[in-house]
Amino acid sequence: MNPGIYGLGGQIVTPVQGPFAGVADARKLLSIWALICGGGAGGANPVVSRPGPGGGGGGVIEITALGVMLQTAYSISIGAGGAIQTLGTPSQFGSIVALGGGSPSSSATGGIAAGTGPGVVISNSAVSPMTPSQGFAGGSANSGNNAIASGGGGAGTVGANAVSGASGNGGAGRSSSISGATYLYGGGGGGGSYVGSSTAGSGGLSGGGAGSSAVASAATSGAANSGGGGGGGSCNGTAASVGGAGGSGIVILRWNASQAQITLSSGLTFTRSTVGTDAIITITAGTGTVTWS
């Protein structure tokens, strides 16, 4: 990796010198590859005799050449997944914030809107994404067929609309190879079924929870450290299951190990790995700081 030109806070910065190796002083910048994923939203419980839609996946921000200062502590927090029909919590690295997934609407009229990806406001008439996008809209609420539910929006694609006889799948997550293998983060949750009239939606790749297909079974929760949205609950007109919770977020940091060493504060749960000459820190829980030197 070469020293980065994109600094935390969005400013353009120029390295004092580089590339560099070994011990460096605090004037120098280190180029890192960073992925920040917020917590997914919980799926919805059914309302009256309508199955619940899926929760939105957590937001994903990935920067392949991010300049950080040596000898400087950067704050980190890992967002929790949302409880049933509740927003996900943002994850943060320095000044960069990946938002939590959007939770489904609980409106009892005009169908139920699916959970959106982060920063997306959805109603029955309009969708307004944030810029730059961290996620996509959930499937449209359905007003003509209450026996189906839409899928939650993912960080990579929109959630699927419900169609006759089938609830919508969750939107796919965003793909990244920062860890050395390709994974997706921030998948949306699938819509629940009206048992006997529609099938449940699957969770969005990767980590989104599937919608419930039986009133005796709760919907699948989003996978931990994936930012996946929870699936929606099912119903049969007289009984209902519950939605699934959202999955927690994650922060992954990668850099050339010959250029700097990292120190992590207490309060963070993490693992270390390597790919070639690069060091990788995967932070899965907690709040704290990281410092390179």
User: Tens digits of per-residue pLDDT, 145-199?
Assistant: 778 888 998 998 988 988 888 999 999 999 999 999 999 999 999 999 999 889 9
At 47, the pLDDT band (50, 70, 90 cuts) reads confident
pLDDT at 144: 65
Instruction: Please give the mean pLDDT across all residues of the chain.
Output: 83
pTM: 0.86
Q: Which residue has the higher pLDDT, 4 or 276?
A: 276
Average confidence (pLDDT) over 251-271 = 97
Bridge partners for 21 per DSSP = none
pLDDT at 247: 96
Of the ranges 131-135, 141-145, 235-239, 254-258, the best mean pLDDT one: 254-258
- Alpha helix (H) ranges present in the chain? none
Q: What is the DSSP letter of 44?
A: P
CA–CA gap between residue 112 and residue 147 (Å, rounded)? 11
At 111, the pLDDT band (50, 70, 90 cuts) reads very low
| Percent above pLDDT 90 for the chain | 60
Please determine, for residue 200, whether its predicted confidence score (pLDDT) is greater than 60: yes
User: Tens digits of per-residue pLDDT, 225-237?
Assistant: 999 999 999 999 8
At 10, the pLDDT band (50, 70, 90 cuts) reads very low
User: How far does Cα 204 stand from its chain's mean position?
Assistant: 11
182, 174 contact by CB (below 8 A): no
What does the radius of gyration of the chain's CA atoms come to, in whole angstroms?
20
Beta strands in 250-277 (DSSP E): 250-256, 262-264, 268-275
pLDDT at 259: 96
User: Tens digits of per-residue pLDDT, 49-97?
Assistant: 889 889 999 999 999 999 999 999 999 999 999 999 888 999 999 999 9
pLDDT at 7: 44
